[in-house]
Structure 1
């Protein structure tokens, strides 16, 4: 059975994208990372938000363009209320997070459904659908942008650290979501 993982690289001050969704900052912090490289083969499907799907790829136009620096290929589910017709090959549009997680889980089999995108992760956490969170903390302060997790008026999400790893460009921290 698939587990649902939210993974992202964030700045030390908690942003996964700069102002207006700018991802160019991330290019300086991508590179050799054993934890990220091992993760690729453990992912069975992606669930991403529309902004992430259409967003700024710091590797655009290179051989590393795409999810997980272009290393991952497989089914992708995009949470949106504005699907494009026809969808790109390997992409399915879904309109709510619960059906998106269910469809991606069915496609993932016994591998991870990897959520990319802060808003999708916020919705999935609110519905108790995320099992684990993997955050790579880059040594940079962005000052503004899209937070890893923002839920004004929301409740606390408790986490248990499963592991921590170091790479030359980021510190990885893997958590399990503690459900009440």
Structure 2
């Protein structure tokens, strides 16, 4: 009978070791995401993920293995092969590289203007717009702070969620850097 209190005391002393406290997940990682049941919501999720450099939500905007990025040919230049098989994996890698070189509180701004939607079917469309992306990052070797061009997104709905299935970047002004320039630099640095 004397062993029971001793055993109980031992259990009470060892029990807290079974439960480890951990840091909570960042609240904004999930709360910023809205189920993209409309194209407008998808574009809002995309814009917010780019502006706040949220890699989880950025990746959620794209559809799986069929996704392809087509670079601006001038910006791709001699590195066109880099983009030959560009998929969601490369999107994630370039975006994480950019995020690592950004300030703790990102201050990017993405503006889409002159938007046009062309529906192919009820579940697929092409969204065309002009973009202006102000990027804040700390890698001094990449100098452009303003990227401009034309974005064409092929979007598809599956299970009532819209996702980006394809992306074509196009330069609109001669000397301005494009999103292709940003991806080209940060995928390899």
Give the alignment's TM-score, normalised by structure 1.
0.25
Higher helix proportion (structure 1 or 2): 2
Higher strand proportion (structure 1 or 2): 1
Relative contact order (alpha carbons < 8 A, sep ≥ 6): 1 or 2 greater? Answer: 1
Point out the structure with max Rg over C-alpha. 2
Give the alignment's TM-score, normalised by structure 2.
0.24
